[in-house]
Amino acid sequence: MRSNLNISIFGLGYVGLPLAVKLSNYFNVLGFDKNKHRIKELKKFLDINNEINSKELKKAKLNYSTNIQDLKNSNIFIVTVPTPVTKTNQPDLKPLLQACKDIGKIISKGSIVVFESTVYPGVTEEVCGPQIKKYSNLVPGKDFYLGYSPERMNPGDKAHSVDKITKVVSGDCNKTKLILKKIYGKVNSGKIFVAKNIKTAEAAKVIENTQRDINVAFINEITKLFKKIDISIFDVLNTAATKWNFLNFKPGFVGGHCIGVDPYYLSYLARQKKIGSNLILSGRKINNNFPIFLAQYINGLISKRNKILVLGLTFKENVNDLRNTKVLDLIKALKKKDHKVYVNDLYANESEVKMMNLSLTSLSKKDKYDIIILAVAHDNYKKLNYSFFKKKLKQNGKIFDLKAIWKRKKFPKDVEYIIL
C-alpha cells in the first residue's frame, strides 16, 4: 500500500533524480525541473548523467513536470537545487531562493520543506524559511515545517548510492524529524541518523567535504616538496600506509560540484562571525594552484614545443561530469607554454567540451605525440598496453602518469615513464 504522502522533488540532477526514483517505490512522487529538455529526456527514459539507467527509469512510478502549479497537491517538498559560488567565491543562493519563492507560491498548511542542498549552518531556518514565508504568508514552525537532509551523492559511485548509505535527517520539531526518518528510512532500510537540529545537520555536510579538501591539499603540497628532492609521493604514501592509522589520500585535482565549492560556504560563515578560516582557504588556494604546478613541472622536463595528448577531462574518473574540472586549468597552462594540446575522454559530452573551446580527439587516430599525460583514471585508460604506447608516442616520448595507474606496465625502451 502506498503512503498518502505526496512528495515533490525540486530539481532532477545528480542528486534529485536518484532520490526521486527510489522514493517512487513507496510514495507518490512528482519530479520537478524547470529544464524542459531534461524532463523530455527523462520521459524517454534517458538520464544523460548516467546515474540511473533506462531500465530503472521505466520501472520507476515517477511523474514529471516543469509546471510549478502541478506541485500544489504536494505536502512534502524536497529541494535538491545546486548551491554554487560566485566568481569571487561567495555563496550563490540564487537557485535556492528561487526554489523557495516557487514553493512559497503553492505551499499549503501542514507541509514540510526539506533541503538537501549544501549550505552553511543557518541557511535553512534563517534564509529559506523567511523566503517561503514571504511568498506564502505562512509561518515556519506553525503553518509549515522545515527539514534538512544533506545529500551525500558521489557521482559514478554505485557502491554508495542513496539506498546504500546512512542518511542524516533533522527538522524544526520532533514530529518533522520522525516523518523524515520514516520517508528516508524506506529508501535505505532504516539507516537513518537523526541530527540534534537543522544547523548541526547543515554543519556536518559542509565539513565533510571541507575536511577532504584540506587533506588533499596537504598531499598536493608535499608532492611539490618531494619532487624537489627527487622522491615519488606515491612511493612515500605506500610506505606510510603501512601504519594502521595513516590516512592514505592521493595527490590530484579537486574539482566538481562539492569539494571545490563547499569550503567557501564555511569560510563565508567564519567571516560573518569574525572567526579566522586560514586553514580552509589555504587548502583551497593549494588545490586551485595544483594544475599550474603540474604544468610547470611537466614543462620543466621538456625542452621544446610539444604535441601533447591529455587523457581525461571530467572532474573525476568514470563520470561525464565536467563541472569545475581542474584538468581544464592544466590544459590552459600547457597551451600558454606554446604546446599543442589534444584531449581524449570517452565519458565527456562533446557539446559541453566545445563550450570549453576544446574538441575531443579519438584514440583510433594514427597521430603520434611527444607527451601523453594521464589526467583522469578512467577504467578504459587502465587497460592501455605496450602496443598503444608504441603506436601513439614518438621516439623518446614521455608519459606523465599523474595517477600512477600504469606503474606495473611495460613500455617501449625509448619511452620515459614519469610519476609524481
Would you please indicate which residues are annotated as catalytic (active-site) residues? Answer: 258
Measured between alpha carbons, how far is 18 from 56 in angstroms, rounded to an integer? 10
* Total residues found in the chain within this entry: 420
Angle made by CA atoms 186, 29, 63, in degrees to the nearest 5: 140
**List of residues 6+ apart from 305 with CB closer than 8 A:** 338, 339, 340
Residue 189 phi, psi dihedral angles, 5° rounding: 60, 35
8-state DSSP, 415: P
Site of grid cell 539506498: 163
Q: Spell out where 264-402 has E strands.
A: 307-311, 340-344, 369-374, 393-401
Placement of cell 587502465 in the chain: 382
Q: Which amino acid is at 163?
A: D
Q: Can you name the residues that pair with 91 across neighbouring β-strands?
A: 85
What is the Cβ-side half-sphere exposure of residue 397, based on CA atoms within 13 angstroms? 21
Distance from C-alpha of 331 to C-alpha of 242, rounded to nearest angstrom: 35
Q: Which is nearest to 376 in space by CA: 350, 355, 348, 356?
A: 348
DSSP 212-228: HHHHHHHHHHHHHHHHH
